Amino acid sequence: MDQSLKSPPLSALDDAFHAMIEASRNAPPPPLAARLDSLKRLRAMLTDNEKRLEQAISADFGHRCAVETTIAETLFLQAEIRHTLKVLSRWMAPRRIATALQFWPARNRLLPQPLGVVGIIAPWNYPLQLTLAPAIGAISAGNRVMIKPSELTPQFSALLKELIAARFDANEFTVTGIEDGIAQAFAALPFDHLVFTGSTRVGRIVAEAAGRNLTPVTLELGGKSPTIVDASANLDEAAERIAYAKLLNAGQTCIAPDYVFVPEQRRDEFAGKVHGHMLRMFGTNPANKDYTAIISDRHYARLEGLARDAVARGAKLLHTTSPEDPAWKSLRKFPPTVVVGAMPEMAIMQEEIFGPLLPIVTYRDAGEVIRYINAHDRPLALYWFGRDEAARDAVLARTVSGGVTINDCLLHFAQMNQPMGGVGASGIGHYHGEWGFDSFSKLKPVFYRSPFNRMKDLYPPYGASIARIEKLLRFLS
């Protein structure tokens, strides 16, 4: 498109990107000291503005529990930065790679190298953590970073843009494209790597746009993460942990337990226990400051529709009040709800819920559960509760998912030494810790030939000795 025909936001986006690309191509890779300095500036930005960021996120949600923002966003990022500062020099060092015997005394090395410019399209549900966690990996790998935040968090996005601009050069780290309708143009830019966190539907659009430039992508998508309560499980303990994980951020978590498999004969007992824990944790008052609001009226209406469809198809709801109760609806607080008797044909079992609705599905044997999971898209997370190690290992061996937590939920995501990433419809690629550093680096193989290597013996003209050399190479191969 001719530059003069572009709207001002698109023109500014284009200008910012090309300036960053030019800077990345003309400057040497940043040394360790520069990367550590960038990470420390980012840490200081979080520390100095923690309250402002918390308030902006809460304003965008209508209400966001401050403790949830602290634990799931701020402290998580602080821990990741602290970990990266400690080990970055090791990550950056050339890696010794074994050299085949026939090439001795040559040597192989793997050199981590910045890709250049990394684009991040961030979601709204954990706007701080899911924006800056991939940025930490990209910065540690020596890249420049351009962020496109969500349109659903305008106050947070504007604040983040202000705070990053105050501490970083625009060609180093910037927030852009906070206007509506910019996401598609952002995804179409020829980044050296593009990160997207969001729905599977939008992930396909982003991947298609990136594919036109052959831009490598990391897609952190969602899906329906199953939770299995084995017959050997402590039912009350499982119910409490599942209730907490489901209602964190009012269920607006990509790795939340989406639905629960429970042994047929224990369905009602489990339903009562998990509902009781929901009530104990969050009570019956919609003004409870511990309970987070749904992000928008449209998302609230979507959840209402899922609940109505489930009831119309024969499910029973356990909740303190209807989501249409004016006291709850006016605050966009969706009442914690257990859906007893969920069936595959219900809409709630066909799309990611992303809210505080917990369907319970019954089963008679573990094979039935495994077949159901394997007949659907591979989930971003899977949870298993119980003491039967053989049953646990069968599920681990026969299902494929992005990550797993045993006897709890969510906690695999917080492990800095483990990768975070989906598989198939739930995502592509990984980040966190060294996995993020590697994802945003070109691990360049370099072969250093020794002056004592006899490869010259293979050059033509081929004489009588070539047969002996071939025999030796076959032996060594």
Judge if 275 and 216 occupy the same domain: no
Q: Which range (398-407, 437-446, 465-474) has the least confidence?
A: 465-474
Residue 22 annotated in active site: no
Q: Given a cut of 50, is residue 4 above it in pLDDT?
A: no
In whole angstroms, give the CA distance from residue 220 to residue 430: 8
Residues 338, 250 share a domain: yes
- Beta pairing class for 441-448 and 107-114: antiparallel
Picking from 78, 172, 187, the residue whose alpha carbon sits closest to that of residue 128 is 78
Can you tell me whether residue 301 is helix, strand or coil?
Answer: helix
d(CA 140, CA 134): 10
Whether residue 262 lies inside any domain: the answer is yes
Q: Could you say which of 54, 73, 172, 220 is catalytic?
A: 220
Based on the domain organization, do 275 and 251 belong to the same domain?
A: yes
- Is 148 inside any structural domain? yes
Q: Quick one: 209 and 343 in the same domain?
A: no
Q: What DSSP line would sit under 412-476, residue for residue? A: GGG-TTS-B---GGGEE--BSHHHHHHHTEEEEEEEE--TT--GGGGSSSP-TTHHHHHHHHHHH
- List pLDDT tens digits, range 94-128: 999 998 887 888 899 999 999 999 999 999 999 99
CATH code of the domain covering residue 256: 3.40.309.10
pTM of the entire predicted model = 0.93
Query: By residue range, what is the domain housing residue 412?
Result: 226-417
pLDDT of residue 1: 42
Same domain, 167 and 316: no
Report the distance separating Cα 142 and Cα 124, nearest Å: 26
Q: Is the pLDDT of residue 86 over 60?
A: yes
**Statement to judge: residues 196 and 323 lie in one domain:** no
Does residue 463 sit within a domain? no
> How many CA atoms lie less than 13 Å away from 432 in the CB half-sphere?
18
Q: How far is CA 347 from CA 258, 307, 350, 444, in A?
A: 13, 9, 5, 47
**How do residues 150-190 score in pLDDT, each as one tens digit?**
999 999 999 999 999 999 999 999 998 776 667 888 999 99
The mean pLDDT value for 308-320 works out to 96
| Residue 436 pLDDT | 95
State whether 238 and 259 are in the same domain: yes
Same-domain pairing of 210 and 230: no
Angle of helix 50-61 versus helix 32-48 axis, rounded to 10: 60
Return the closest-CA partner of residue 233 out of 196, 288, 270: 270
Digit-coded pLDDT (tens) for 379-429: 999 999 999 999 999 999 999 999 999 999 999 999 988 999 999 999 999
Cα 308 from Cα 83, distance rounded (Å): 46
pLDDT above 70 for 341: yes
Whether 283 is covered by a domain: the verdict is yes
* Whole-number pLDDT of residue 193: 98
Q: Is residue 451 part of a domain?
A: no
Q: List, for residues 231-254, the tens digit of each pLDDT value.
A: 999 999 999 999 999 999 999 999
Give the residue with greater pLDDT, 70 vs 320: 70
Bond into 226 cis (ω within 30): no
Residues 194 and 245 in one domain: no
Count of the separate structural domains present in the chain: 2
N-terminal to C-terminal alpha carbon distance within the chain: 54
Residue 5 has pLDDT above 60, yes or no: no
Mean pLDDT, rounded, of the chain: 93
Is residue 17 assigned to a domain?
yes
251 within domain boundaries: yes
Query: Is 351 in the same domain as 207?
Result: no
The CATH number of whichever domain residue 33 belongs to comes to: 3.40.605.10
Portion of the chain with pLDDT greater than 70, in percent: 96
| Residue (of 371, 377, 7) closest to 204 by Cα position | 377
Distance CA 332, CA 293 (A): 5
pLDDT for 361 = 97
pLDDT category, 462, cuts 50, 70, 90?
A: confident
Asked if residue 467 is part of any domain, the answer here is no
Q: Could you tell me the pLDDT band of residue 3, with boundaries at 50, 70 and 90?
A: very low
Residues 281 and 200 in one domain: no
Residue 70 DSSP one-character state = I
Question: What is the share, in percent, of the chain residues with pLDDT greater than 90?
Answer: 86
State yes or no: pLDDT of 6 exceeds 60: no
Beta bridge partners of 403: 381
Banded model confidence at residue 7, pLDDT cuts 50, 70, 90: low
CA distance 396 to 414: 20
Co-location of 108 and 208 in the same domain: yes
pLDDT band at residue 471 under the 50/70/90 scheme: confident
- Whole-angstrom Cα Rg for the chain: 26
